Amino acid sequence: MIPWPIALLTLFYGALAAASAATVWKIAVGISDRPLGWPLAWLAGSVGLMCGLPLLKSWARPLAITASWVLVVITLALAGLLARADHPVAALGATAGCTIHLIVIRYLGRPSVKAFFH
């Protein structure tokens, strides 16, 4: 049985995979006119994490930590754009939302959690 925080993290990456798959599909059928690289990379990474985390694969924990750091950078960049666009409350909310990813990084770095992935 996997711990419930890892199950919740798996659900988060499942939702991210669904959103990325929808974006890839829109690009493939011609509805969206965006480059395919980033949505395809997010789809591959989130599907990998969605499958690797509940199976407690050794490569899933470092990949989840890396993905969380990337999401921290993206969230802080969004907060900066919101602050620049004169939306300070929304920027503060985005900055506060960054703490979720930092909590995930801290949780996955605990020795008791590391023991699950060996």
Same domain, yes or no: 5 and 45: yes
Q: What is the pLDDT of residue 96?
A: 94
DSSP 13-24: HHHHHHHHHHHH
Q: What is the pLDDT of residue 61?
A: 96
Which residue blocks in 30-87 are alpha helix, DSSP H? 37-52, 60-84
Report which of 67, 46, 62, 53 is spatially closest to residue 3, judged by C-alpha positions.
53
How many domains does the chain contain in total? 2
Q: 109: pLDDT confidence band, cut at 50, 70 and 90?
A: very high
pLDDT beyond 90 at 1: no
Domain enclosing residue 5, as ranges = 1-55
Same domain, yes or no: 50 and 64: no
Q: What is the pLDDT of residue 2?
A: 87
Same domain, yes or no: 25 and 82: no
Full-model pTM: 0.89
List pLDDT tens digits, range 44-85: 999 999 999 999 999 999 999 999 999 999 999 999 999 999
Q: What is the pLDDT of residue 45?
A: 95
